Amino acid sequence: MVVQVGNIQIGGPQFTVIAGPCSIESENQFMTTALAVKTSGAAMLRGGIWKMRTSAKAFQGLGIEAFDIIKKVKAATGLGLVSEVTDVRQIEEIAHIVDGYQIGARNMHNYSLLKELGRQPKPVLLKRGFSAFIDEWIKAADYVLAGGNENVILCERGIRTFETATRNTLDLNAVVYAKKHTQLPVIVDPSHAVGIAELIPQLCYASAAAGADGLIIEAHPNPAQALSDGPQALTLETFDKTMKQLERVLAAFDRRLQKA
Ligand code: PEP
Ligand code: MN
């Protein structure tokens, strides 16, 4: 099944890369990132407005202050945006500036939020909970589908295992399983899966080879200064190199990158 997100199609023959910072931090940071990832071949932007941080003391996102920044960046790049909603009230608040709603790993089991998104016209990118069985993830998608919103994209973002050397463990089994057992597009978030920037390019190539429909990748102009998830943010230069190699991997499977 193909899901339309703004101007792009996810789940068709082409491979879609969504990229941007973990959090929108400032106009300069988001604009610089967006223009660069577009030049490198990303078809859609990501960027957090409200963040689900483990610590209440950590940066929680700009909230409504991000809205004007988003309008300027979308106008300058012509790219669509997916951003996370953490509360049903935010669905309406950001309807005018997003092309798709992201449900974060921590909210995969928030069925009232999923039911509300089932009543919305815009697509939903549903992250897998880090301790969710594949079956629970697929059933969570059903909450959105059952409400009448058929535009759901599954996103594997790594699960908790006994391993501590990496942030999570990318479960490529889940990608091939979900592709086989559902009609929904499946994308991979290698950034949260591994949590270490230098390991991300290889996971991008592996995801493409495994048959994912796309990727959602965190990038930042200055990862050391990032207000969230700096250790896993690709520099804009590394993002560009990764996209070039990704195109070669895709070509081996007779696929190519979707251009915005
Ligand atoms: C994110 O995309 O920045 C994020 C918080 O992801 P997850 O919900 O997968 O942890
Ligand atoms: Mn993040």
Ligand nearest to the CA of residue 46, numbered in listed order: 1
Task: Give the mutation target among 22, 110, 113 for probing the ligand 1 site: most ligand atoms within 8 A of CB.
Answer: 22
**Ligand 1 atom with least separation from CA of 189:** 9
Q: Reply yes or no on whether the pLDDT at 52 is more than 90.
A: no
CB atoms within 10 A of CB 135: 10
Could you report the per-residue pLDDT of 139-172, keeping only the tens digit for each? 999 999 999 999 999 999 999 999 999 999 999 9
CB atoms within 10 A of CB 244: 10
Could you report the per-residue pLDDT of 18-51, keeping only the tens digit for each? 999 999 999 999 999 999 999 999 999 999 999 9
CATH number belonging to the domain at 15-46+68-252, selected among 3.30.70.141, 3.30.390.10, 3.20.20.70, 3.40.120.10: 3.20.20.70
Q: Give me the residue spans of the domains in the chain.
A: 15-46+68-252
Rounded to the nearest angstrom, the distance between the alpha carbon of 26 and the centre of ligand 2 is 16
Share the mean pLDDT of the chain.
98
Task: Give the closest residue (by CA) to ligand 1 atom 10.
Answer: 105
Rounded to the nearest angstrom, the distance between the alpha carbon of 159 and the centre of ligand 1 is 12
**Ligand 1 atom with least separation from CA of 22:** 3
Q: Is 89 exposed, middle or buried (0-12, 13-18, 19+ CB in 10 A)?
A: exposed
Ligand nearest to the CA of residue 157, numbered in listed order: 1
Task: Give the mutation target among 110, 171, 189 for probing the ligand 1 site: most ligand atoms within 8 A of CB.
Answer: 189
Rounded to the nearest angstrom, the distance between the alpha carbon of 104 and the centre of ligand 1 is 5
Could you report the per-residue pLDDT of 73-113, keeping only the tens digit for each? 999 999 999 999 999 999 999 999 999 999 999 999 999 99
Name all residues whose Cβ lies below 6 A of ligand 1: 22, 48, 52, 104-106, 127, 157, 189, 192
Taking each helix axis from N to C end, the angle separating 134-146 and 172-181, rounded to the nearest 10 degrees, works out to 40
Could you report the per-residue pLDDT of 62-83, keeping only the tens digit for each? 999 999 999 999 999 999 999 9
